[in-house]
């Protein structure tokens, strides 16, 4: 019985235990499921954290790459020491690696004066606002300084972020732009004050007219704007005249000429006109600038002069002196007064037939002096000389010549008055002996005039001839022939100007007034542009240009003086070489030196002349009738000296000549020679 009760109790306890175990198992299963869920969520969280970390790393890498590739210098300063610098910042200050500056104070990159300014002006603002932006003067590793634009930002952890940029070139560019704008404004002001100025579109409609245009035309600006120049057309010029004008400027070329216009009150006025086309990127005109000068008074004076010629002729024929008018070369006698027959003993008709026949009567000892005197056309002449009459008697003549100049300032006629001073000379004979020495000095002075006058004679003769044809037969010539003569005049005027420029440059060099101003210059581009310019004016030869210089080589040169050196040598190479031959022009840049080599296939230079080649007025014995003054190579030598360079020559007769100029790539400005 007791066993039965015990078994029942055991079963009850067993049932309870089983129930409790089952509950416990349920709780374990539940806890296990919860743990599994927590584990799963933890794994997901870990996975998301890993992805976020990878994304963050990518973003940080991108940010770091951006910072490293930016052109701005970026640095981080903590407790006054650099903790980070990007590549641009390192290079901007002339360092190689960031390690050279990490841990160094920021003051290492600034001068004491600039550090004091930061502490005085910048840091108070930075502390108050957390940021500052402005300009500063920074110091590179080599001690040189430069202007920078700086942005400073103070963040919460006490670090200072510095972003800087070198603005040296920006400052220079801004200053250059401001200077250019000022010069342009001054040029416009000067032009408006001194000339009649108008701007038209491609259809000829006026879009700008200055006060001078309004004043001379008597039209208001409102009446001119939107109109064409037909509003001032006087009807004086032919349709072909204006067709030629438009054809010239439409092709992008400058047109120059004289135009008679009509004002609002129907009065006429003359203007010397230059029309300049403004070209777009395709070389097509998009505007035309017309610059005019009032020459009405000059035109009236020319007309009055023509009307007065007859009066002068009547006066001259009643003078006891010889009154004569000739061309500058005395190749044509335009007028000779009857007194010539009385004094020379020859008829006026004989002089018209042979304009130089009067020279036959001049004493041989005086003829050269007379010829040198009359060559001085620009200022005239005043000379005394002896003549021998047909009856064998001698007469002393006092001859004074006065140049007549055209609108371009060139001499086109010479007026002379010659009188018989034989009586006076007989009294002065003894005095003339005492003046013999002065005469010799005068002849020495004439040496220079003789050389330069000879060079002027040919171009002026051609200019006069072409001008005479245009004046006398212009109405019979077509536009092409007129242009041919005008081009001829322009070519020889340029030749004469070049000769004058050489003389003036030589004078500056001799008197120590030749200025030297070295500026940065792209040597290769300069040489290429110079060759194009020379080839346009001297097409009978070909310049072959070679170089070992890469593009963009910049040196310090005086552009005008370097141009003088190369133009002289290249012009000589072509002048003393047969037509169609090649002139070799080589440019070498070796280390810090620029070497120009110019080689021709010309007549060569005798060895005896090479020693004196760079002396003033010296010319080689084999130049023959080739024109020249003997100044060119003297000028070249002085210009090379200014660049602290050297010049050498190698020449063989009948084979050619080579000039080698060696100039430092960077020449500093120096005292004028």
| Segment 542-560 mean pLDDT | 86
Distances 223 to 191, 216, 219, 233, 341 between C-alpha atoms, Å: 22, 14, 6, 15, 63
- pLDDT at residue 457 above 90? no
- pLDDT at residue 60 above 50? no
Predicted confidence at residue 388, as pLDDT, reads 92
CA-based nearest residue to 161, from 238, 257, 78, 240: 78
Structure tokens given for 630: 């003997």
Strand partners for 274: 256, 291
Neighbours of 245 (CB within 10 A): 17
Q: Are 285 and 257 in contact (CB under 8 A)?
A: no
Where residue 345 falls (left for φ over 0; alpha for ψ -120 to 50; beta otherwise) is left
- pLDDT at residue 599 above 90? yes
CA distance 640 to 453: 28
Strand partners for 245: none
CA distance 632 to 185: 38
Q: Do you know the residue count of the chain?
A: 673
CA distance 581 to 600: 8
At residue 299, the 3 state secondary structure works out as: helix
Q: Are 456 and 374 in contact (CB under 8 A)?
A: no
Neighbours of 255 (CB within 10 A): 19
CA distance 558 to 226: 46
Predicted confidence at residue 511, as pLDDT, reads 63
| Residue the block writes with tokens 């129930």 | 19
Predicted confidence at residue 9, as pLDDT, reads 61
Which residues touch 283 (CB under 8 Å, ≥6 apart)?
252
Please give the torsion angle defined by the CA atoms of residues 484, 489, 492 and 497, in that order, rounded to the nearest 10 degrees. Answer: -140
The conformation of residue 664, written as its DSSP 8-state character, comes to E
Strand partners for 145: 139
Lowest model confidence (mean pLDDT) among 54-58, 131-135, 551-555, 646-650: 54-58
CA angle 48, 51, 52 (to 5 degrees): 85
Q: Are 503 and 532 in contact (CB under 8 A)?
A: no
| Residue the block writes with tokens 């400073």 | 152
| Residue the block writes with tokens 């004043």 | 215
The helix-helix angle for 632-642 and 559-575 (nearest 10°) equals 150
| Segment 274-281 mean pLDDT | 91
At residue 131, the 3 state secondary structure works out as: strand
CA distance 54 to 388: 118
- pLDDT at residue 442 above 50? no
Q: Which residues of 474-495 are buried (b: 16+ CB within 10 A; e: fewer)?
A: eeeeeeeebeebeebbeebbeb
Q: Please, which pLDDT band fits residue 62 given cuts at 50, 70 and 90? A: very low
Structure tokens given for 261: 């216009």
CA distance 17 to 6: 16
CA dihedral over 336, 337, 338, 344, signed as positive or negative:
negative
CA distance 89 to 59: 22
What pLDDT digit, counting tens, does each position of 128-172 carry? 898 999 999 999 999 999 999 999 998 878 899 999 998 888 788
Percent of residues, the chain, with pLDDT higher than 70: 79
More confident residue, 320 or 435: 320
Neighbours of 19 (CB within 10 A): 10
What pLDDT digit, counting tens, does each position of 307-325 carry? 777 777 777 777 788 888 8
Q: Are 643 and 559 in contact (CB under 8 A)?
A: no
CA distance 507 to 517: 18
Structure tokens given for 268: 């006429």
- pLDDT at residue 418 above 70? yes
Q: Please, which pLDDT band fits residue 4 given cuts at 50, 70 and 90? A: low
What pLDDT digit, counting tens, does each position of 614-633 carry? 776 667 888 887 777 667 78
Percent of residues, the chain, with pLDDT higher than 90: 32
- pLDDT at residue 448 above 70? no
What pLDDT digit, counting tens, does each position of 380-398 carry? 888 989 999 999 999 999 9
Predicted confidence at residue 516, as pLDDT, reads 78
- pLDDT at residue 287 above 90? yes
The full DSSP string for 230-246 is: GGGB-S-S-HHHHHHHH
Where residue 508 falls (left for φ over 0; alpha for ψ -120 to 50; beta otherwise) is alpha
CA distance 555 to 595: 12
At residue 562, the 3 state secondary structure works out as: helix
| Segment 494-501 mean pLDDT | 67
Please give the torsion angle defined by the CA atoms of residues 227, 231, 236 and 242, in that order, rounded to the nearest 10 degrees. Answer: 0
Structure tokens given for 587: 């440019």
Q: Where are the alpha helices (DSSP H) in 120-235?
A: 123-129, 168-194, 211-217, 221-224
Please give the torsion angle defined by the CA atoms of residues 298, 303, 305 and 311, in that order, rounded to the nearest 10 degrees. Answer: -160
Q: Residue 532 burial by CB count (10 A; 0-12/13-18/19+): exposed, middle or buried? A: exposed
- pLDDT at residue 449 above 60? no
Which residues touch 644 (CB under 8 Å, ≥6 apart)?
663, 664, 667, 670
At residue 151, the 3 state secondary structure works out as: strand
Structure tokens given for 649: 């020559």
How much is the mean pLDDT over the chain? 81
What pLDDT digit, counting tens, does each position of 196-236 carry? 999 999 999 999 999 999 999 999 999 999 999 999 999 99
| Residue the block writes with tokens 């070139």 | 169
Predicted confidence at residue 314, as pLDDT, reads 73
Start-to-end CA distance of the chain, whole Å, equals: 148
Predicted confidence at residue 598, as pLDDT, reads 92
Neighbours of 665 (CB within 10 A): 16
More confident residue, 629 or 612: 612
Structure tokens given for 278: 């403004």
Q: Are 489 and 482 in contact (CB under 8 A)?
A: no
């Amino acid at each position: 019985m007791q066993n039965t009760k015990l078994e029942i109790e055991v079963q009850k306890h067993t049932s309870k235990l089983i129930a409790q175990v089952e509950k416990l198992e349920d709780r374990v299963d539940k806890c296990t499921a919860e743990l599994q869920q927590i584990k799963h969520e933890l794994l997901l969280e870990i996975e998301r954290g890993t992805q976020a970390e990878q994304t963050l790393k990518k973003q940080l890498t991108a940010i770091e790459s951006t910072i490293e590739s930016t052109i701005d210098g970026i640095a981080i300063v903590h407790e006054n020491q650099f903790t980070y610098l990007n590549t641009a910042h390192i290079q901007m200050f002339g360092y190689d690696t960031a390690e050279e500056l990490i841990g160094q104070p920021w003051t290492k990159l600034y001068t004491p004066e600039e550090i004091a300014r930061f502490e005085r002006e910048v840091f108070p603002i930075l502390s108050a606002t957390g940021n500052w932006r402005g300009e500063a003067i920074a110091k590179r590793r080599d001690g040189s300084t430069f202007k920078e634009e700086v942005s400073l930002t103070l963040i919460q952890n006490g670090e200072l972020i510095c972003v800087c940029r070198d603005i040296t070139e920006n400052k220079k560019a801004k200053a250059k732009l401001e200077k250019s704008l000022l010069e342009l404004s001054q040029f416009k002001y000067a032009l408006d004050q001194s000339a009649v100025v108008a701007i038209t579109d491609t259809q000829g409609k006026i879009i700008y007219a200055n006060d001078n245009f309004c004043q001379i035309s008597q039209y208001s600006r409102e009446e001119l704007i939107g109109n064409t120049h037909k509003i001032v057309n006087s009807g004086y010029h032919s349709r072909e005249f204006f067709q030629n004008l438009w054809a010239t400027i439409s092709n992008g070329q400058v047109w120059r000429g004289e135009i008679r216009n009509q004002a609002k009150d129907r009065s006429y006025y003359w203007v010397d006109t230059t029309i300049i086309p403004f070209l777009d990127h395709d070389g097509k005109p998009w505007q035309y600038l017309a610059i005019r000068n009032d020459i009405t008074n000059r035109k009236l004076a020319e007309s009055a002069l023509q009307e007065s010629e007859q009066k002068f002729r009547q006066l001259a024929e009643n003078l006891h002196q010889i009154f004569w008018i000739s061309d500058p070369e005395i190749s044509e006698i335009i007028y000779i007064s009857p007194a010539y027959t009385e004094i020379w003993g020859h008829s006026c008709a004989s002089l018209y037939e042979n304009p130089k026949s009067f020279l036959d009567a001049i004493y041989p000892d005086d003829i050269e002096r007379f010829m040198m005197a009359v060559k001085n056309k620009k200022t005239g002449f005043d000379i005394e000389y002896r003549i021998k009459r047909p009856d064998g008697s001698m007469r002393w003549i006092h001859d004074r010549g006065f140049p007549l100049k055209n609108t371009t300032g060139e001499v086109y006629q010479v007026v002379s008055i010659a009188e018989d001073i034989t009586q006076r000379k007989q009294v002065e004979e003894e005095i003339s002996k005492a003046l013999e020495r002065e005469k010799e000095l005068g002849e020495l002075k004439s040496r220079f005039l003789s050389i330069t006058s000879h060079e002027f004679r040919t171009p002026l003769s051609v200019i006069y001839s072409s001008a005479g044809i245009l004046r006398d037969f212009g109405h019979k010539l077509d536009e092409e022939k007129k242009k041919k003569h005008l081009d001829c005049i322009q070519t020889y005027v340029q030749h004469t100007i070049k000769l004058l420029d050489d003389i003036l440059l030589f004078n500056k060099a001799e008197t120590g007034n030749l200025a030297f101003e070295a500026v940065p210059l792209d040597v290769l581009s300069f040489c290429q542009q110079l060759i194009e310019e020379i080839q346009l004016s001297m097409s009978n030869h070909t310049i072959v240009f070679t170089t070992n210089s890469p593009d963009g080589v910049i040196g310090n040169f005086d552009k005008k003086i370097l141009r003088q050196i190369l133009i002289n040598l290249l012009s000589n190479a072509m002048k003393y070489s047969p037509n169609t031959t090649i002139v070799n022009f080589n440019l070498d840049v070796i280390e810090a030196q620029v070497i120009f080599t110019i080689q021709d296939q010309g007549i060569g230079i005798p060895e005896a002349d090479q020693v004196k080649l760079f002396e003033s007025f010296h010319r080689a014995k084999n130049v023959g009738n080739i024109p020249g003054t003997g100044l060119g190579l003297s000028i070249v030598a002085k210009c090379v000296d200014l660049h602290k360079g050297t010049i050498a020559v190698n020449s063989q007769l009948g084979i050619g000549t080579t000039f080698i100029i060696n100039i430092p790539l960077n020449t500093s400005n120096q005292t004028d020679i």
